[in-house]
Chains A and B, each alone.
Chain A
Amino acid sequence: MEDDDFDRLLKTCRIKLEPGERKRIKDETTQIIAYFDTIRDADCDNCLPSYQPIDVPARTRPDKVEGFYDTGKLLGNSKIYRFYIVGPKI
């Protein structure tokens, strides 16, 4: 993988690597992608993609109003302003 491509990939992932770590992970990534390429020979283009290994019926829970957990506990890890979780700027 070229340096520019790897840097673009890191930006997409929102991952920042230290210089030494960057070289090692880039080399390992290139090696692993080359291994992934072995799947290109598999003669499976006529098979449908398998999204789950067994047939899972398509079902959802019916809508209903339900008493939920203590919202204070759910939001306990976050910085809160009034009813909102405070996050970074967009």
Chain B
Amino acid sequence: MIGGIEEFVDKEKPEGYYERLIAELEKVNSKLHIFSSINRQISSGIPFSVKDNICVSGVESTASSAVLEGYVPPFDATPVERLKSNGFGFVGKTKMDEFGFGTFGINCKDHPRNPFGDSYVTGGSSAGAAAAVSVMKYHIAVAESTGGSISCPAAFCGVVGFTPTYGLVSRYGLIDYANSLDKIGIIGRSSRDVRYAFDIIKGSDSYDTTCVDHQINGENRKKLIIIDQLMANVDQDILSSFDKFISKMQNLGYSVEHRSLPLIDKALAAYYIISMAEASTNLAKYTGFKYGIRVNDFSKGYNEFFTEARRNFGPEAKRRIILGTFVRSASVKSRYYEKAMRFRHMLIDALNSIIKDGFLISPTMPIKAPAIKEAEELSPLKSYSMDSITVPPNLAGLPHVSFPYDYINGFPVGVQLVTSHFNDYALLDFVQGWEEEFNYRFNYDVGAI
């Protein structure tokens, strides 16, 4: 399968191509609410979109939060700058759960709708990013994952969502959620599109001292490992479909091994403790007088002023600030936050030992894309539990990819493949092999030539 981007580069673009692209995109956006802004000035390059928590010079970047309304960064994030310098054209900012706080993409104003059915969620938090890939023929999305924010929407929107090893892509210009977990990645319509963009954005950056310049491997492994605990809460129709996929992989020469790893059941709690602790400190900088919303009543005392500014956070952000502040409190810090950090070390060791000669494989999500109404009715804890499969590789900083393997009742379902740190190319090679057996389906082809 030829990647769409390579085809686009080679093709002669008809006159007025970009004007037509933007007109079509605006029409689709009025129905699906994918973009927070569309760049009407685009006149060349391979179209790329940017999740709203990644800075683009001169374009309002709010992480879909009212707190940051009006914030216009005067600089490009490093991945954005690299794409712009290498033949890509910025097409728009994509909507997301506020600051990345969500599983379904519904924690923001006028949230995105799934291109396979507009009363269904896109998944989150890179909700608009995955939906944009699903509707545009020639395009890649720059997205970000903390606990599954690339894999989940990629699975629900039927596209390839790639989360690289922690540290391989610079986070300079990212509006942080949780520093020890955030990773910038790529969503595309094929493994080749993803690789094309990843090769441009990866690599060290003097502006991000946590970004590493490490050799990236592509060591193929012929063993697929299923951790039984990850399959415990998967819906029956997804399990049946996943079993068929595994049989196909066996026919293609892969061996399959089931493993038990009871400690993985605690990964979700560890993830939410660490991520909320880090989020609660990161959000402290939104004080109402430097970024975004400005509180104009300077007669107020500091505490009152700060409290007034923070009224603009959405309910999920408030909840995470409260919980994150709690787990960092002096009296309980060792019980929650430090314990979670120790647990992460143990999990990384355990996962590294299991995947040293194989790929970890599972459905990406335990459910199909739910209806928006169903997702809105879930309690926060139930909603968090939907991240049980995407959290372990994110907590461990392991590279992973979600790609579609089937369609159930017209909706795509995704499989998640995980490998060792810095073996990222092996994931994209695996997906490329699968693409020889699989036909992607899309309901939209905006920008087709």
Interface residues of A (CB under 8 A from B): 9-10, 12-17, 21, 25, 28-29, 31-33, 35-36, 38-42, 44-45, 47-54, 56-57, 59-61, 69-70, 73-74, 76-79, 85-90
Q: Is the CB of A39 within 8 A of B75?
A: no
How many angstroms from the CA of A70 to the CA of B73 in the assembled complex? 12
Q: Hey, what's the 0/1 contact readout for B297-341 against A, CB within 8 Å counting as 1?
A: 011111111110011010100110111011101000001101111
In the complex formed, the residue of B with least CB distance to A38 is B269
Q: Is the CB of A77 within 8 A of B300?
A: no
Q: Is the CB of B348 within 8 A of A53?
A: yes
How many angstroms from the CA of A35 to the CA of B380 in the assembled complex? 12
Size of the B side of the interface (Cβ < 8 Å), in residues, is 75
Q: Is the CB of B381 within 8 A of A31?
A: yes
Answer yes or no: B395 CB below 8 A from chain A CBs.
Answer: yes
In order of increasing CB-CB distance, the 9 nearest A-B pairs are A53-B397, A88-B305, A49-B341, A50-B345, A73-B74, A47-B345, A50-B344, A44-B346, A44-B342
Asked if A29 meets B339 with Cβ closer than 8 Å, knowing A48-B345, A59-B209, the reply is no
Query: Closest CB-CB distance, B364 to chain A, in whole Å?
Result: 20
Asked if A14 meets B310 with Cβ closer than 8 Å, knowing A89-B302, A90-B302, the reply is yes
How many angstroms from the CA of A80 to the CA of B287 in the assembled complex? 15
Answer yes or no: B231 CB below 8 A from chain A CBs.
Answer: no
Query: Closest CB-CB distance, A55 to chain B, in whole Å?
Result: 8
Q: Hey, what's the 0/1 contact readout for B268-282 against A, CB within 8 Å counting as 1?
A: 011011000000100
Q: Is the CB of A69 within 8 A of B75?
A: yes
Q: Hey, what's the 0/1 contact readout for B98-110 against A, CB within 8 Å counting as 1?
A: 0000000000000
Chain B residues within 8 Å of A32, by CB = 272, 319, 323, 380-381, 384
Answer yes or no: B212 CB below 8 A from chain A CBs.
Answer: yes
A-B contact pairs, 10 of them (CB 8 A): A10-B322, A14-B303, A36-B269, A36-B273, A48-B342, A49-B344, A52-B210, A53-B181, A59-B209, A61-B206
Chain A residues within 8 Å of B343, by CB = 39, 42, 44, 47
How many angstroms from the CA of A48 to the CA of B345 in the assembled complex? 7
Query: Closest CB-CB distance, A23 to chain B, in whole Å?
Result: 13
Q: Is the CB of A15 within 8 A of B321?
A: yes
Query: Closest CB-CB distance, A69 to chain B, in whole Å?
Result: 5
Answer yes or no: B221 CB below 8 A from chain A CBs.
Answer: no
**A interface secondary structure, majority:** loop
Answer yes or no: B134 CB below 8 A from chain A CBs.
Answer: no
Query: Closest CB-CB distance, A64 to chain B, in whole Å?
Result: 11
Q: Is the CB of A21 within 8 A of B75?
A: no
Q: Is the CB of B301 within 8 A of A35?
A: no
Chain A residues within 8 Å of B381, by CB = 28, 31-32, 35
Q: Hey, what's the 0/1 contact readout for B347-391 against A, CB within 8 Å counting as 1?
A: 011000000000000000000000000000001110010000000
Q: Is the CB of A69 within 8 A of B180?
A: no
Chain A residues within 8 Å of B421, by CB = 53-54
Answer yes or no: B70 CB below 8 A from chain A CBs.
Answer: yes
Q: Is the CB of A47 within 8 A of B167?
A: no
Asked if A42 meets B304 with Cβ closer than 8 Å, knowing A35-B381, A78-B289, the reply is no
Q: Is the CB of B290 within 8 A of A85?
A: yes
Chain A residues within 8 Å of B40, by CB = none
Return the contact of B289 from the options A38, A47, A52, A87 (Cβ within 8 A): A87
Q: Is the CB of A69 within 8 A of B326?
A: no
How many angstroms from the CA of A15 to the CA of B318 in the assembled complex? 7
Return the contact of A29 from the options B266, B302, B319 (Cβ within 8 A): B319
Answer yes or no: B9 CB below 8 A from chain A CBs.
Answer: no
Query: Closest CB-CB distance, B331 to chain A, in whole Å?
Result: 10
Chain B residues within 8 Å of A47, by CB = 342-343, 345-346, 349
Q: Is the CB of A39 within 8 A of B273?
A: yes
Answer yes or no: B165 CB below 8 A from chain A CBs.
Answer: yes
Answer yes or no: B92 CB below 8 A from chain A CBs.
Answer: no
Query: Closest CB-CB distance, A36 to chain B, in whole Å?
Result: 5
How many angstroms from the CA of A14 to the CA of B327 in the assembled complex? 16
Q: Is the CB of B298 within 8 A of A79?
A: yes
Return the contact of B339 from the options A14, A39, A74 (Cβ within 8 A): A39
